């Protein structure tokens, strides 16, 4: 069965700290992987996506993610977080047509 696991449910960091959010997926076919961000009270916005090619994907706002096929992982990283990065982050894998979303990671950045 297709599934996505986000192990960190809540993360608290100080500004300028480095961020890495874990995402592991289970899917037998060709994977399309996504990270979405949801700022407080807002809708989900696409941060970055991986379909094929370079496994290191760069997205908006300085975020990047690395697809490691052997580990079934697609971790999100940012070298230096800002207070404005406070949000909930969702990893998703695309199956035949459905997106399977993880349960989300709530990030709080302290100023």
Partner 1 sequence: DAGVIQSPRHEVTEMGQEVTLRCKPISGHNSLFWYRQTMMRGLELLIYFNNNVPIDDSGMPEDRFSAKMPNASFSTLKIQPSEPRDSAVYFCASSFFQAGTDTQYFGPGTRLTVL
Interface positions with partner 1 (CB under 8 A): 30, 32, 34, 36, 42-46, 49, 51, 90, 94, 97-99, 101, 103-104
Phi, psi of 99 (to 5 degrees): -95, 130
Residue number with CB closer to partner 1 (71 or 98): 98
Residue 9 near residue 91 (C-beta atoms within 8 A): no
Q: 47: which 2 tokens?
A: 């941060």
User: Cβ 14 to partner 1, closest distance in Å?
Assistant: 26
Residue number with CB closer to partner 1 (9 or 79): 9
DSSP string covering 9-42: SEEEEETT--EEE--EEE-SS--EEEEEEE-TTS
Residue number with CB closer to partner 1 (13 or 44): 44
User: Cβ 18 to partner 1, closest distance in Å?
Assistant: 26
User: Cβ 10 to partner 1, closest distance in Å?
Assistant: 13
Residue 72 near residue 26 (C-beta atoms within 8 A): yes
């Amino acid at each position: 069965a297709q599934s996505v696991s986000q192990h960190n449910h809540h993360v608290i960091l100080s500004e300028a700290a480095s961020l890495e959010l874990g995402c592991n997926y289970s899917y037998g076919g060709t994977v399309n992987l996504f990270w979405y961000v949801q700022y407080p009270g807002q809708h989900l916005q696409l941060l970055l996506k991986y379909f094929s090619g370079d496994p290191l994907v760069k997205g908006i706002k300085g975020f990047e993610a690395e697809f490691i096929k052997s580990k079934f992982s697609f971790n999100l990283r940012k070298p230096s977080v800002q207070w404005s990065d406070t949000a909930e982050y969702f990893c998703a894998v695309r199956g035949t047509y459905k997106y399977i979303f993880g349960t989300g990671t709530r990030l709080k950045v302290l100023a």
